[in-house]
Amino acid sequence: MHNYSGIKEAQAQMRKYYAGGATGVLVSGAVWLLCAIASTLYPPKQTMWVLLIGGALIHPVSILLGKLMGIKDKQPAGNPLARLAMEGTLFMIFCIPLAYGYASQHAEWFFLGIMLIIGGRYLTFSTLYGNNIYWLLGFAIVTASYILFKSRASIIVIALTMSIIETCLGLFILINYKKNKTG
């Protein structure tokens, strides 16, 4: 078990083993793109399942993506921020029934509810990774969900918006991670 001397070291380890969080953000963006595609092929309930199943696969797929990028090691046991990451994940999962409840009014509200949940979760990533870009990501998602709600956007527009936000900021995080890793 690694003995962490402070939060900065714990954040550095989180950045190292999760590419600054970029892999998860990018995989999530891809899941939302799949959701947008599914919304053109299937009814809303099946599209919800695409998002839920895809969401459950974000962590393992992002670990695989990290390995493909050359991140070979596992995070040492004992990182105090790993617990915060798990707590944030559990909170997010516990909120999903709330979003599902929204769907009884309008199917689109499920996706907007999930956006709000994810946007809020990204705010904790600022502490996990020591990178304030996650405040921007979280607030961009929350703001977009409000605008999409007010404009009565369709599922495809909601999913594409989320995919674009996560993909753009995920690429920015990845570029900065690689730059700081080598520079």
**Is 133 part of any domain?**
yes
Local structure of residue 74 (DSSP, 8 states) = P
- pLDDT in the model for residue 2: 62
Q: How many domains does the chain divide into?
A: 1
For residue 154, which phi and psi values (nearest 5 degrees)? -80, 170
In 3D, which of 124, 123, 125, 101 has the Cα closest to residue 114?
A: 101
Residue 179 burial (10 A CB sphere; 0-12, 13-18, 19+): exposed
Q: Give pLDDT, residue 72.
A: 76
Asked if the structure places residue 46 within a domain, the reply is: yes
Domain membership of residue 68 as a residue range: 11-182
Does residue 5 fall inside a structural domain?
A: no
pLDDT in tens, the chain (183 residues): 566 678 999 999 999 999 999 999 999 999 999 999 999 999 999 999 999 999 999 999 999 999 999 987 777 788 889 889 999 999 999 999 999 999 999 999 999 999 999 999 999 999 999 999 999 999 999 999 999 999 999 999 999 999 999 999 999 999 999 998 754
| Residue 6 covered by a domain | no
Q: Is residue 4 part of a domain?
A: no
Per-position b or e across 68-96, b if 16+ CB within 10 A of its CB: eeebeeebeeebebbebbeebeeebeebb
Q: Supply 142's token pair.
A: 């929350």
User: Looking at the domain assignment, is residue 77 inside a domain?
Assistant: yes
Asked, for residue 146, whether it belongs to a domain, the answer is yes
pTM of model > 0.85: yes
25 in a structural domain? yes
- CA atoms of 25 and 10, how far apart (whole Å): 20
